[in-house]
Amino acid sequence: MEDGRHLPGAHLIDAYGGGGFRFADLSHRGSLLCLPSGMWAWPYGSARDLDEAAFARVLAEADAIDTLLFGAGADIAPLPPAVRTALKARGIVVEPMATGAAARTWNILVGERRRVAAALLAVA
């Protein structure tokens, strides 16, 4: 999956680490945006690189999302205030956590058919 390409549908994440993710019998290198519309390549490597434009797809699907899990890599990091404000204005609650915790939480919430999205920064 290259930037702009996606796999339709919400898929469980089978593995993470080594700079990428495994899901739906695929291996993806790099960060991942998991949305109701599908699993998207996400061209960001660090929380400090993120701005409102990085979350354009999330905002475009806001009507189908209640919670955004933000997997910030190996550690927890907050989103920039402008991003949090934009998401909150669309009714989306942000839950920052390490990427591993976010991937596991994604799997649980997708299994429960919750209105969830995940922005997952790849970890080594």
Q: Which of the four pLDDT bands, split at 50, 70 and 90, describes residue 29?
A: very high
Question: Is 1 part of a structural domain of the chain?
Answer: no
Number of domains forming the structure of the chain:
1
Average pLDDT, integer, range 93-117: 97
The pLDDT of residue 2 is above 90: no
Question: Is 54 part of a structural domain of the chain?
Answer: yes
Question: Mapped to the 3 state alphabet, what secondary structure does the chain carry?
Answer: CCCCCEEECCCCEEEEECCEEEECCEEEECEEEEECCEEEEECCCCHHHCCHHHHHHHHHCHHHCCEEEEECCCCCCCCCHHHHHHHHHCCCEEEEECHHHHHHHHHHHHHCCCCEEEEECCCC
- Rounded to the nearest 10°, the torsion over CA 32, 44, 120, 82 is -130
Cβ-based neighbours of 115, under 8 Å, separated by 6 or more: 36, 64, 65, 66, 67
What pLDDT score does 3 carry? 52
Task: Specify the amino acid at residue 18.
Answer: G
Average pLDDT, integer, range 18-27: 95
What pLDDT score does 85 carry? 96
Instruction: Report the percent of the chain where pLDDT is more than 70.
Output: 97
C-alpha span between 94 and 17 (Å, rounded): 22
Average pLDDT, integer, range 12-28: 96
Can you give the residue range of the structural domain that contains 52? Answer: 6-120
C-alpha span between 36 and 116 (Å, rounded): 8
Q: Which of the four pLDDT bands, split at 50, 70 and 90, describes residue 63?
A: very high
The pLDDT of residue 97 is above 90: yes
| Predicted structure pTM score | 0.93
Question: Is 90 part of a structural domain of the chain?
Answer: yes
Question: Is 73 part of a structural domain of the chain?
Answer: yes
Q: What CATH code is carried by the domain that includes residue 58?
A: 3.40.1230.10
The pLDDT of residue 1 is above 50: no
Q: Considering the chain, what is the average pLDDT of its residues?
A: 94
